[in-house]
Amino acid sequence: MIFTDYELTYLKSQTLGRLATIGPNGPQLTALGFSVNDDGTIDIGGPALSSSQKWRNIAANPAVSFVVDDMTPDEPGAVKPGWGRGVEIRGEAELLTGHAPPSYGGSWFSDEVIRIRPRRIRSWHLDPEQVQYNRDVA
C-alpha cells in the first residue's frame, strides 16, 4: 500500500488540496478538489482541464507536488491539537483524456483527468506513534 492507514483515512476525509507545477515563468500553485484511487494514485478533474495552465505545465514537466493539510482539531485523541497536519505527495503527473472525471465533479467537468503517481510521501501529525513520516514509495 502506498499510503499508511492514517494517511489514507485523512486524505479520504478531505476535499481540498494544492497542486504545485512548474511553468515557463516558475512555480504555479492551484487549490482544487481531488480523489484517492484504490491503487494509491490521486485524480484531479475540472472544467476544460486541458486548456488550463496546470495542464500545459504538466505536459512540459510532469514533476508535481500535491499537499493536503489543515489544522489538527483540538479534541481528545488528536495528534498535536492546534498544530497543522497533512500529507505531501511528490510524484509524476499523467494527463488522461477521454476519461470520466472524478466523482466529486459536476457535469461541468471535462472528460480529462490529471493523475498523480506518488514517488515520495511526507506526512505529519496524523499517526500518534510516528509524528512525522517521510519515505519513498516508488
- Give the chain's end-to-end CA distance (angstroms, integer): 11
- CATH code of 131's domain: 2.30.110.10
User: What residue type is 87 in one-letter code?
Assistant: V
Domain that holds residue 127: 5-136
pTM of the predicted protein model: 0.94
Give me the tens of pLDDT residue by residue for the chain, a chain 138 residues long: 799 999 999 999 999 999 999 999 999 999 999 999 999 999 999 999 999 999 999 999 999 999 999 999 988 888 999 899 999 999 999 999 998 888 888 888 999 999 999 999 999 999 999 989 999 998
In contact, 43 and 76? CB cutoff 8 Å: no
Domain count, the chain: 1
